[in-house]
Amino acid sequence: MNVIEKARELGTAIQQDERFIRYAKARLANDSDKDLQDAIGQFNIVRMELDREVSSDDKNDDKVKELNEKLRKVYSDIMSSPAMVEYNTAKAELDTMVNEVNTIISKSLDGEDPMTCDTHSACTGSCESCGGCH
């Protein structure tokens, strides 16, 4: 069996994992939630209004402040909705699993034993917080 076949098996195993299933259900629930989608649409409209006002030659600081407050309120409503909370929780759990898989692959490429290497790397996935790769 070659590496690509094993990667396909891994992909299948990931899709059968409870973390992936939870994430997929949460994503579908968000996509199907009309109120949430309307709020996201409203957020995008307010953001475009704010961008337009900020870049306007006759920028109105009061209008910018008002739009900023409105944008924060819509964002807060979106992020605190039960569907979005579930989605973010499920996504974080899936991301943790993916980071562990990537750590095993990376450490295997460095010659470490894939069966015993530590999967809890200090890598956050963000190069901004990075002190350098292992």
Summarised one tens digit per residue, pLDDT across range 111-126 is: 999 999 998 855 555 6
Q: Is the pLDDT of residue 20 over 60?
A: yes
The superfamily in CATH containing domain 3-99 is YheA/YmcA-like (1.20.1500.10)
pLDDT at site 120: 82
Domains of the chain, residue spans? 3-99
C-beta of residue 36 within 8 angstroms of C-beta of residue 78 = yes
pLDDT tens profile 28-50: 999 999 999 999 999 999 999 99
Under 8 Å CB-to-CB from 7, ≥6 apart: which residues? none
- Whole-number Å distance between alpha carbons of 110 and 56: 53
Q: CA angle 9-117-115, nearest 5°?
A: 45
User: Which pTM does this prediction carry?
Assistant: 0.77
pLDDT at site 26: 98
Residue 130 — very low, low, confident or very high, per pLDDT cuts 50/70/90?
low
